[in-house]
Amino acid sequence: MGVEFLLTSLVVVASPGTGVVITLAAALSHGRRAAVVAAFGCTLGILPHMLAAITGLAALLHASALAFEAVRWAGIAYLLWMAWASLRADGPLAIRTDAAPRRDREVILAAILANLLNPKLSIFFVAFLPQFVAKADPQPLLTMLALSGVFMAMTFAVFVAYGCFAAAARRHVLQRPAVLAWLRRGFAAAFVALGGRLALSER
């Protein structure tokens, strides 16, 4: 495991995506603890893709155009639903001072689903991890597990950092209704952009 792997993983993890938006929304709605729970859920959402890559299911998904397209469009539909939910004042991503905190289980399940319906993450694991496993490695499976573990740990740490930063600014944001309205629109636009990028992306 070298510096190249760590730097590449950091760039991938720190790039704004669905998990970052979910973590920021949780932080602004309910504070630092909610952000940590959301970050944990987003990190758990990586597990199915990691297991699929290791067992070869992701390679099968990549080879089957029909299966890939089915998962891709399911992901697009979910992102658009998240955009709509962001705009709703009583939606799951609503940023309100009087909103009751969601159960940890609900937040974690929503975060896992957000990553589960992202086929690009599976392709990323298939194309990315093998590059850092030497052909002469006597235990490539253990190496892939170790690299995946580092990637997940980095994901959790970066998302928590995003969440803590947002939680620190939470009081100032909640005191400004106009800012709240623009944040909801910003989250919705981010999900639409992510869905559009996924829809226009090529295999």
Specify the amino acid at residue 4: E
Please report the pLDDT score of residue 64 as a whole number. 65
Please report the pLDDT score of residue 90 as a whole number. 55
Which tokens is 148 given?
């995946």
11 belongs to a structural domain: no
Please report the pLDDT score of residue 139 as a whole number. 81
The pLDDT mean for the chain works out to 76
Please report the pLDDT score of residue 103 as a whole number. 81
**What are residue 132's phi and psi, to 5 degrees?**
-110, 15
Q: Residue 53 burial (CB < 10 Å; 0-12/13-18/19+)?
A: buried
Alpha carbons 24 and 171: distance in angstroms, whole number: 14
Interval 29-79: pLDDT, tens: 788 898 999 999 999 988 888 887 777 655 555 566 676 677 667 767 776
Which residue carries 């975060």 as its tokens? 111
What angle in degrees, to the nearest 10, is found between the helix axes of 119-128 and 3-14?
A: 170
Please report the pLDDT score of residue 171 as a whole number. 73
167 belongs to a structural domain: yes
The distance from CA 30 to its chain's CA centroid, rounded to whole angstroms, is 19
Please report the pLDDT score of residue 167 as a whole number. 87
Q: Residue 36 burial (CB < 10 Å; 0-12/13-18/19+)?
A: buried
7 belongs to a structural domain: no
4 belongs to a structural domain: no
The better pLDDT of the pair 120, 192 is held by 192
- Number of structural domains in the chain: 1
Alpha carbons 64 and 68: distance in angstroms, whole number: 6
144 belongs to a structural domain: yes
pTM, whole model, 2 decimals? 0.70
Alpha carbons 151 and 129: distance in angstroms, whole number: 10
Alpha carbons 24 and 107: distance in angstroms, whole number: 12
Owning domain of residue 116: 17-200
Which residue carries 């909640």 as its tokens? 174
Percent of the chain with pLDDT over 90: 11
**What are residue 196's phi and psi, to 5 degrees?**
-65, -40
**Cβ atoms within 10 A of the Cβ of 18, count?**
24
Q: Please list, in sequence order, all residues whose beta carbon lies within 8 angstroms of the beta carbon of residue 113, skipping any fewer than 6 positions away.
A: 45, 78
12 belongs to a structural domain: no
30 belongs to a structural domain: yes
The better pLDDT of the pair 57, 170 is held by 170
